[in-house]
C-alpha cells in the first residue's frame, strides 16, 4: 500500500461537501419550496464566508496563498495538460485553484442576488431575478468543468481525488510533484 499524507483538513472537506449539498438542495427546491431554497442559499453563503476566513488563516492546503497562481502559470499549466505533461500537485493544481476561486465567487454572487430578492428594495425586480438564474447556469457549467478536471487529474496521476476529498488523504509526494 503506498504511503499517504494528510492534505485536506476536516473543515475543507466539510465545506466542500456542504457546498455541494446546499447547492443541490437550493437547485431542486427553487420553484416549489421557497423556505428550503432560502435556507440552502443562506447555508451556501455562510460556508463561503467561512471559507474566505479559512483561506486567509487556515491549514496549509486551505490557504489561498498555497494555490492561487499568476495567470502566466495557469496558462502554462493548461498547456502542459493539453500535451499530457502536467506535474502532479499535492494541493490544488493551478487550474484547480482558479476553479476554486471561480466557484466561491459564483456562490457568493448567487447568494447575494438571492438575498437581494428578499429585500424591499429588490423584491420582484426582474434584472436581479434574471442575474440570479444566469449565475446559477454559469455555476452549473463550472461544476461540469470541475468534474471533468477532477476526472482527468485522477486518471492522469493515478489517484482518486474524490476519495481524497472524503478522507483528506492523498498519495505521498514523489520526485517531480509540487508540494
Residue 46 within a domain: yes
Q: In 3D, which of 23, 99, 16, 27 has the Cα closest to residue 51?
A: 16
Reduce the secondary structure of the chain to three states and give it as a string: CCCEEECCCHHHHHHHHHHHHHHHHHHHCCCCCHHHHHHHHHHHHHHHHHHHHHHHHCCHHHCHHHHCCCHHHHHHHHHHHHCCCCCCECCCCHHHHHHHHHHHHHHHHHHHHHHHCCCCCCCCCHHHHHHHHHHHHHHHHHHHHHHHHHHHHHHHHCCCHHHHHHHCEEECCCCCCEC
Tens digit of each residue's pLDDT (9 = 90 or more) over 68-80: 999 999 999 999 9
Q: In 3D, which of 123, 117, 150, 156 has the Cα closest to residue 135?
A: 117
- Is residue 126 pLDDT above 80, yes or no? yes
Tens digit of each residue's pLDDT (9 = 90 or more) over 68-118: 999 999 999 999 999 999 999 999 999 999 999 999 999 999 999 999 998
Residue 179 within a domain: no
Domain total in the chain: 1
pLDDT-based confidence at residue 123 (cuts at 50, 70, 90): confident
21-25, Cβ contacts within 8 angstroms, sequence gap of 24 or more: 22/47, 23/107, 23/139
Q: Identify the CATH number of the domain in which residue 44 sits.
A: 1.20.950.20
- Residue 146, domain extent: 4-171
- Is residue 25 pLDDT above 70, yes or no? yes
Residue 165 within a domain: yes
Q: Give the percent of the chain with pLDDT over 90.
A: 87
pLDDT-based confidence at residue 119 (cuts at 50, 70, 90): confident
pTM here? 0.90
Name the more confident of 104 and 176: 104
Residue 176 within a domain: no
Tens digit of each residue's pLDDT (9 = 90 or more) over 26-35: 999 988 899 9
pLDDT of residue 178: 87
pLDDT-based confidence at residue 156 (cuts at 50, 70, 90): very high
Residue 177 within a domain: no
Cell numbers found for residue 122: 429588490
Q: In 3D, which of 38, 3, 1, 7 has the Cα closest to residue 119?
A: 38
Stretch 131-138: mean pLDDT: 96
Amino acid at each position: 500500500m503506498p504511503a499517504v499524507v494528510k492534505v485536506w483538513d476536516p473543515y475543507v472537506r466539510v465545506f466542500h461537501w456542504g457546498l455541494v449539498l446546499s447547492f443541490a438542495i437550493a437547485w431542486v427546491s427553487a420553484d416549489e419550496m421557497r423556505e428550503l431554497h432560502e435556507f440552502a442559499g443562506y447555508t451556501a453563503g455562510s460556508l463561503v464566508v467561512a471559507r474566505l476566513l479559512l483561506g486567509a488563516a487556515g491549514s496549509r492546503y486551505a490557504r489561498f496563498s498555497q494555490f492561487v497562481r499568476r495567470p502566466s502559470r495557469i496558462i502554462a499549466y493548461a498547456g502542459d495538460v493539453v500535451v499530457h505533461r502536467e506535474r502532479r500537485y499535492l494541493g490544488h493544481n493551478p487550474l484547480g485553484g482558479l476553479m476554486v476561486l471561480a466557484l466561491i465567487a459564483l456562490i457568493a454572487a448567487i447568494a447575494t442576488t438571492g438575498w437581494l430578492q428578499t429585500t424591499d428594495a429588490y423584491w420582484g425586480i426582474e434584472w436581479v431575478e434574471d442575474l440570479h438564474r444566469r449565475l446559477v447556469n454559469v455555476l452549473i457549467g463550472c461544476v461540469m468543468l470541475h468534474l471533468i478536471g477532477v476526472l482527468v487529474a485522477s486518471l492522469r496521476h493515478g489517484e482518486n481525488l474524490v476519495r481524497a476529498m472524503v478522507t483528506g488523504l492523498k498519495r505521498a509526494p514523489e520526485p517531480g510533484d509540487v508540494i
